A and B are shown apart, each in its own frame.
Chain A
């Protein structure tokens, strides 16, 4: 039985060897740049010493020392909490709007207008967070921002959008949504374009209104794409957006904005606690992996799994 299987594989490989050759560079890429450096996670269990190198550094005593230190520090709960909260909000508030936008763009009959809206909506995706932070300050800064200037001109008091911890997570989620909305809509637009038009024609003949067609045809057929997106985002739930938060969070709001990645960066690169930073980074990756596997398993129950 086993022999037969192996023979079959050899047979397949022989006949399709061109494909395997084409695959080779990518396999090498992953081995060299993704799997190779992974031996570096060793430093999470060592007292890393730069001149001694990764292998030469002594083991931490006990080996879970750095994990222990992290969990005993007052930061652990808060940083993990912030990470999960911000990710959860980003998923909760960021999953539906792209679908709505995609449907709206799709239903738009004027072709020129449609193209213009689509282009304008995905443009922010290409801006870096540094630029977006500049735009945010121009609008939201309490002393010089446009919105606060309006507020004060109307006799209202100004509001610290960028420095008030109570609403800062909303700022994070809001700007992230603004930046990614049009871009995320593209995938749904593609999915909508793939829907068999005869379904709509049949529905029109049966007397379905536009809303009913969206409700009974478009949305159910977008379910697969939606679940795929959900799995991908659930896998990265521990990544709440390093570049965004590193750029826009000031000390005043760090209590609600510090996430695992920013903390790891500051701890590891800026303060040189490589071992501690790696321990936390590793922890994060393991949880992320479990989440991807978990959501995929869940999704397979609805026949929508990634693999």
Chain B
């Protein structure tokens, strides 16, 4: 067993884990944060995307022990209490989800995309950036719309906060 300590959604957690525990397993099974999903074995579907130290990573391809000392953000930590994150709101507004299974990873990837590339994202860029997230339900059409809108809303929200 190995001891890990990390901050998950703003809370410090410490646990003893078998070193072979994946970060995705750790948040799902040890922390009961089941919003992070696992959809493949080959780091391709992106259902497990979380942020580690502010960057999107595939939690199924990282050991929990590798996240020792890190800040982890999962889908459960994205909203500000009852107030949805603008990207979450955009996914609902634009019907960017059907079965909901890929959705947490999609949203975490979309937020990371905006963090890196800013809010003015064209369709081609969004589609390219979603390469690591597979959705079987939506055909991506409405996900693209959602990310476009969510990106804009993120900056507006940010600008509002800065102005306040």
Genuine A/B complex: no
Binding site for A on B (CB under 8 A): none
